[in-house]
Amino acid sequence: MHNKFRASIIMMVSQSLIPIAIISLVISFANAYDPSPLQDFCVAIDDLKGVSVNGKFCKDPKRVDAKDFFFSGLNVPGNTDNQVGSNVTTVNVDQIPGLNTMGISLVRIDYAPHGQNPPHTHPRGTEILVVVKGTLYVGFVSSNQDNNRLFAKVLHPGDVFVFPIGMIHFQINIGKIPAVAFAGLSSQNAGVITIANAVFGSNPPIYPELLARAFQLDASVVKELQAKFGSI
């Protein structure tokens, strides 16, 4: 009888711990991204006096005004005269201090004909992109667990595409005229890692022999790529 009672108690405790474990897991996921604000706003300021939220100090609310939530210039085309033929104009917490803790930011992307936004990833945000001019071929590659499947689409003005957080993705202008797109990101500072720059342009450089084996290339080719990307 004592053993049955003990087993019943253990089962009740175990069952009660299940919802607690689920809640803890949900909370851990929620905390994995930009924290939700616990006040109307936390306008970022470089002053060390104040409360730090998500790496930024909060401006005294009494000193906050409209310019802390304002940016002008997304109507101006970016300069695409560069190696990849594109330009990203970023509007995140560094441009709009009022975005601090809001978990959102915006970019304008200009593409020269055949210009591209090369394969890259945003470690802290999902991206949703809308084309307003031109024709883009866009896509992302899923993780190793999903067999690195390519999800790609040709987009025209008015078309929208989503790049999930952390996935390697790209865009290329396949038209004969300049293209323009705008994208929202689910972070005040989503970050960006351009794959080629990170791998071949790291500082200090990654061992060429390691990259040669990883990419199935000759070490001399790797060294040439590292020289191009400024790693050596």
- The CA-CA-CA angle for residues 110, 117, 101, to 5°, reads 80
Tell whether 31 is in a known binding site: no
Using CB atoms within 10 Å of the CB of residue 20, give its burial: 0 to 12 exposed, 13 to 18 middle, 19+ buried.
exposed
Tell whether 117 is in a known binding site: yes
Tell whether 2 is in a known binding site: no
Tell whether 114 is in a known binding site: no
Mapping DSSP onto H, E and C, the string for 103-164 reads: CCEEEEEEECCCCEEEEEECCCCCEEEEEEECCEEEEEECCHHHCCCEEEEEECCCCEEEEC
Tell whether 147 is in a known binding site: no
Which strands form 44-45's sheet, in the order they lie side by side? 44-45, 56-58, 52-53
Tokens 């978990």 correspond to 103
Using CB atoms within 10 Å of the CB of residue 216, give its burial: 0 to 12 exposed, 13 to 18 middle, 19+ buried.
exposed
Q: Which residue numbers belong to the known binding site for Mn(2+)?
A: 120, 122, 127, 169
Q: Which residues are annotated as a binding site for oxalate?
A: 117, 122, 127
Q: Which residues are annotated as a binding site?
A: 117, 120, 122, 127, 169
